[in-house]
Structures are given as structure tokens and as C-alpha cells.
Chain A
Amino acid sequence: MLPPVFNVLFDGFAYGMLLFVLSVGLSVTLGMMNFINLAHCAYAMLGGFVAVTLVDKVGWPFFAALPVAFLGAAAAAVVLERTLYRRLYKAPELEQVLLTIGIVFMSVATAAYLFGTVQMPIQTPAFLRGSLNVLGLTIGVYRLFLIAAGLLVAAVLVATLEYTRFGARVRAAVDNQRMAAGLGINVEAAFAITFALGSGLAGLGGALAIEIIGLDYFFAFQYLVYVLIVVSVGGLGSIGGSFLAAVLIGMSDMFGKYYFPEYGAFFIYAVMLIILIWRPAGLFGRR
């Protein structure tokens, strides 16, 4: 029989997997182009709302809605990248921050207008509900699913980076943008694709998140902080860093909220500050 702290750690790990799927896209695109995209969670929110609409209003099965959430978010990213983002690649950070905050404001307002301010429910398949009793711990089935999904995403990403030509180009661009361009790599094209994929992943994460952390019009803002913490702690451009940081933050947050409820979110802000001050480029970042 395992003590209850393992329950908290398990839940934290599952939460970390969710944070990973949500954050990894931002980490890679930040590492590649240094473009500060604070609207990242707006794509996540979009994916979530797409999933909710498909499942609840149109009646699609949950698993069919997931890829559409991914694609919807990716499509939105492509549109915004082509029209707005690409003009600001060389602009000062503040402008990137403000453009993307503006997009977040607009998406939050639109979501409230279209869906109201209530929590969105979602119908997950029956076999994902409920929990198992393992070694005295209550293991939520959906959380197990999340962990599997997170690991799968991580595996696919690592495989893509290591074994495909596209992945090699991405790695080169993250490593040294000027050199990569000098070697003939079309960095902007690689970035556009990476950005679309990263935002798509955020959309997927948004859809997956509904069951665990809920979805409402404020999601784009609310979880932005967590995602930024994961990205800065993990180090820009690092999948392994995002993974580790997401797990760390996920577990710290669960741990803090469970054992020290009076201090709430205090805990992870403190963790973030300590790590950033010790290693300003993040656990696995360069610079």
C-alpha cells in the first residue's frame, strides 16, 4: 500500500503531461525565432472550444474531435502568422508582447461573446471515466490517458526532431539561426511550419484539458502564466526541458495546493523565481 502522497504525485504527473502538451510548442518556437507569443494559450483555448462544439453540439465522438482541435488551432496560427506575426520577427520584444496580448484580449472577449462565461462541459467516452484502484491509490483513468497522450506526443516530437530532415532543420535553426540561414535552410519556412504545429499541439492540449482543469472564456489568460513558467524554467527550444519543467511544475502545483492550501499558487511562482535566478536560461536553455 502506497501512502497518499503518491496520489498527489500521480495527479501532478498527469497535470504535468497536460502542461507539457500545452507548452512544448511555445518553447520550440521561442527557441527558434525568439518571438514572444503570449497568445499561445489562445490557440489552446480555440482547440478546446472546437472540441466542445464538435462533441456537445454536433455529436462527434471525443477522439474524432481531438485531431480537429489540433488542426483548427494550427490553421488559426497559420493565418495569424502570415498576416501579423511575421512582420514583427525583428521587432523589439515589447511589440511582440503587446501584439500577442492584444490577440489574447480579443480572443477572450470573443469567447465570452460566443459561449458566455460559464464552464464548458465535455462528454468524454465512457471508458475514460472512473478510476482504478492500484496499490491503494485512486488512479483516474482519464489521467492515465493524459499521461499516455503526453508520452506519445513527446515520443513523436523527439522522433521527428532526431530522424527527419525537417527535424534537423528545426534543430539547426534553434541552435543558431544565422548559421542555419547561411547553410541554406529556409528558417522562416521552418518556423512557420513549427509554429503551426506548436499551436496545433496547444489546441490539442486545450481539448484534452477540459476534463481536468475546465474550459471557460478566460482560459487563454489563466493558463498563460503556467505555460510561461514551464517554458522559462525548461529552457527555450528544448523538448526535454519542457518535459522536465512541466512535470516539475505540475507536481509542485499539486503538492502545494494539497499540502499547503493557504498558499495556493504561491508555491510555483516561488519555484519559478528560484530556478530562473539560479539558471536564467532555464534548466536546459542556452544563452
Chain B
Amino acid sequence: MGTPAAAATPYIFLKSQARWRVAEIIFWLATLLPFVLFPNYLSLASQIAITALFALSIDLVLGYAGIVTLGHAAFFGLGAYGAGLFSKFVWGEPLTGLVLAAAIAAVAGYLSSLVVVRFRHLAIIMITMGFGLLLHEAANKAHWLTGGTDGFQGVSMWPILGYFTFDLWGYTAYAYSLVVLFVVFLGVRRLIHSPFGLSLKGIRENWTRMPAIGAPSQSHLRKAYTISAAIAGIAGALLTQTTETVSLSVLSFERSADTVVMLVLGGTGKLYGALVGSLIFMVARDQFSGINPQLWYFWIGLLLVAVVMLLPNGVLGGLTQLVQRFRGKQP
């Protein structure tokens, strides 16, 4: 960042940071490949897109604002069940379902942010984890509403925009998930490059300094947390709509933890880290799931240890360093 020759003025430098890179365009074009190359794997692709969206929501609070959360599945699950209930009791129109899920999750996100942003360090990990566990327990007990461990029945989706029906091969599902992912991604990307995004980075970089420059850190964090919850809710709703079912695992600690792992794998605070990490993790898990599941946990554990010790900026961070070293710049 900041090579002497190219940075004419700071203004131009800042402007160039928000520009779309070639690599980004290639990435998004590549997301269309599954339609052509892996038509049998479209439902997996759809799952990956949904997980990537969830990981993106976590990156917003973890990678950009520095809130370590191990309970974000609470919002994913709220969106998932919200969309399910909406489809069962109101109507099966998908897009309004997304909006409702986002709204429910956002309200929950805002309410919990009132508590969450007042803490740091261990307390925040425990509180976010606690909320997640609590909600999971509550959903388990409330099986009159959620179906509990039997799963939620009765979701049936109408065609998207009245035209695209959900087919068995997953074409519609993947296209739908991908479009939603892309649209939300655009929004998040814009947010990151806005003054608000800069404030979030400031909070992450130096919590102490922010109030010293007059920044209302907690107010910023509440906003970020609420937006992040809404996005997680949308991801959950997508899962419900594309699979026409909701299982209790949408609220599980495992989902929260796995997704944080994916994010770290790919690299936090990079947006694309969430996407890349999800892709790698989900594909690897899909390949491994045939083999002994215990083995999967061993390798993932080892990978985590390796990433933390050797590649603290995740796969993307490592790649960026490699590229920079290759180009002869300073890493």
C-alpha cells in the first residue's frame, strides 16, 4: 500500500483504494462457472454462497470493528426461522421473506448491541456465545413453533419475481443466492469505503484513541452490529428458502464457530476473505464428509493452528504478501 511513485496526491490515493480491481471482476465472473462446469453441484454452490454471505456479515463486525463474536448464528437462525414462519403462515413470496428476515434480525441485532458493545475481551466472547447458546436452547424447547430437533415443516416457496421457480437441480437456488450475495456485497463494499467504514477500522485499530478524537465508538458499533445482524438474517432466510426447511443447526454454536474459522482462513477485514475462506472450507468439508467425520475435525484443527501460527492474515493475506514480494514491493 502506498508506493512512492504512484501516489500523486492523497486524494487520488484515497480514490484509488475504492476502485474495482481486476482480480475482483475475475472473481465475480468466476462465480458463474458452476452453472457451466459443475451443474451437479449447484446446491452445494448455493450453500457456499449462503455461508459466504454469513461470513461476510461476521467480517463486518469482526474484521472491521474488532468485535470477537462466537454467537452470530443467533441472527442467522432468526432470519432462517423468520423466513420459514413467514412462508408457512403468510405467503411464500421469497423477496418479501428476505426483507422480513432482515428486519427481525436487525431488531434483535440492535437490542443485543445495546449490551454487547459495552464490553471487550473475554466478556464479549462470553456474552455473544451466551446469547447464541440461549437462543438455541429456547428454539429447542419451543418446538411447537420451530419443530425443535425434528425440523421445521411447511415451507413452500413461490417463484421468484413470479417467474423463476425453484427447481430440483438448484439452478434457481444458486442464481438467487448468488445475486443476493452480490447485491449485499456491493452494499457492504460501499460501506467499508465510506467515512463510517473508516471509523470502524479506527475502532479496530485503536479502541483507546477513538474517543480521544471525539468519536462515539459505541454508537458506531451498534450500527455496525445491527447491519451485520440484518445481513446474517438474510443469509439464514436464503437457506430456508432454497432448502425449504429449517433445522435447529441454524442456531448452533458450531455454525458460529465454523464460520469464524472460515473467515479467519480466508483473512479478516478483507471482505473477499469471507468469500474465499467459505469456498475453501465448504469444498474441503464436502470432499471430506464421505470419509470419517472425526478426521475432518483433526485436519481443520491442524489447519487452524497452522494458519494462526504461520499465516495470521489468512489465505488472502498470505497471497497478498506473496504477490507483493513477487512484484518487488514491500509486504
Which A residues contact B (CB, under 8 angstroms)?
30, 34, 36, 84, 87-88, 91, 93-95, 97-99, 101-110, 112-113, 217, 225, 228-229, 231-232, 236, 262-266, 269-270, 272-273, 276-277, 280-281
B211 on interface, CB distance cutoff 8 Å: no
Give bound CA distance, A266 to B141, whole Å: 10
Whether the Cβ atoms of A109 and B141 lie closer than 8 Å is no
Whether the Cβ atoms of B308 and A102 lie closer than 8 Å is yes
The minimal Cβ–Cβ distance linking A87 to chain B, given in whole angstroms, is: 7
B283 on interface, CB distance cutoff 8 Å: no
Among residues 103 to 157 in chain B, which have CB atoms less than 8 Å away from a CB atom of chain A?
Answer: 115, 118-119, 121-123, 125-127, 129-131, 133-134, 137-138, 141
Q: Which of A88, A102, A273 contacts B127 (CB 8 A)?
A: A273
Residues of A within 8 A of B215 (CB): none
Pick 15 A–B contacts, CB within 8 A, sort by A: A91-B312, A93-B125, A94-B264, A97-B68, A99-B309, A101-B261, A102-B300, A102-B301, A102-B302, A102-B304, A105-B298, A106-B301, A113-B298, A263-B137, A270-B134
Q: Which of A104, A113, A225, A280 contacts B301 (CB 8 A)?
A: A104
Whether the Cβ atoms of A232 and B309 lie closer than 8 Å is no
Give bound CA distance, A270 to B133, whole Å: 10
Given contacts A232-B123, A280-B123, contact A105 B300 (CB under 8 A): yes
Residues of B within 8 A of A266 (CB): 134, 137-138, 141
Q: Count residues of B near A (Cβ-Cβ below 8 Å).
A: 40
Q: Which of B121, B129, B301 contacts A103 (CB 8 A)?
A: B301
Q: Which of B123, B260, B296 contacts A281 (CB 8 A)?
A: B123
Q: Is the interface of A mostly helix, strand, loop or mixed?
A: helix
Residues of A within 8 A of B308 (CB): 88, 95, 98-99, 102
B303 on interface, CB distance cutoff 8 Å: yes
Whether the Cβ atoms of A105 and B301 lie closer than 8 Å is yes
The minimal Cβ–Cβ distance linking B99 to chain A, given in whole angstroms, is: 30
Residues of A within 8 A of B301 (CB): 101-109
Residues of A within 8 A of B121 (CB): 34, 93
Q: Which of A106, A262, A280 contacts B298 (CB 8 A)?
A: A106
Known: A102-B302, A103-B301. 15 other contacts (CB 8 A): A87-B309, A93-B121, A93-B125, A99-B308, A102-B308, A105-B297, A106-B302, A109-B295, A228-B129, A264-B137, A265-B133, A266-B134, A270-B134, A280-B119, A281-B123
Residues of B within 8 A of A84 (CB): 305, 309
B160 on interface, CB distance cutoff 8 Å: no
Q: Which of A102, A270, A272 contacts B305 (CB 8 A)?
A: A102
Residues of A within 8 A of B257 (CB): 101
B210 on interface, CB distance cutoff 8 Å: no
Give bound CA distance, A34 to B123, whole Å: 12
Give bound CA distance, A226 to B70, whole Å: 15
Given contacts A262-B141, A263-B141, contact A98 B126 (CB under 8 A): no
Whether the Cβ atoms of A98 and B137 lie closer than 8 Å is no
A-B pairs, 6 with minimum CB distance: A105-B301, A102-B304, A109-B298, A106-B301, A102-B305, A112-B294
Whether the Cβ atoms of A272 and B126 lie closer than 8 Å is yes
B307 on interface, CB distance cutoff 8 Å: yes
Give bound CA distance, A216 to B308, whole Å: 28
The minimal Cβ–Cβ distance linking B122 to chain A, given in whole angstroms, is: 6
Give bound CA distance, A34 to B295, whole Å: 31
Give bound CA distance, A91 to B312, whole Å: 10
B316 on interface, CB distance cutoff 8 Å: no
Residues of B within 8 A of A34 (CB): 121
Give bound CA distance, A217 to B309, whole Å: 26
Give bound CA distance, A236 to B260, whole Å: 25
Q: Which of A93, A99, A113 contacts B304 (CB 8 A)?
A: A99
Residues of B within 8 A of A232 (CB): 122-123, 126
Q: Which of A113, A264, A277, A280 contacts B294 (CB 8 A)?
A: A113
Among residues 160 to 210 in chain B, which have CB atoms less than 8 Å away from a CB atom of chain A?
Answer: none
B53 on interface, CB distance cutoff 8 Å: no
Residues of A within 8 A of B294 (CB): 108-109, 112-113, 217
Residues of A within 8 A of B302 (CB): 102, 106
Residues of B within 8 A of A94 (CB): 62, 68, 264, 268
Give bound CA distance, A94 to B312, whole Å: 10
Give bound CA distance, A25 to B32, whole Å: 52
Give bound CA distance, A113 to B292, whole Å: 10
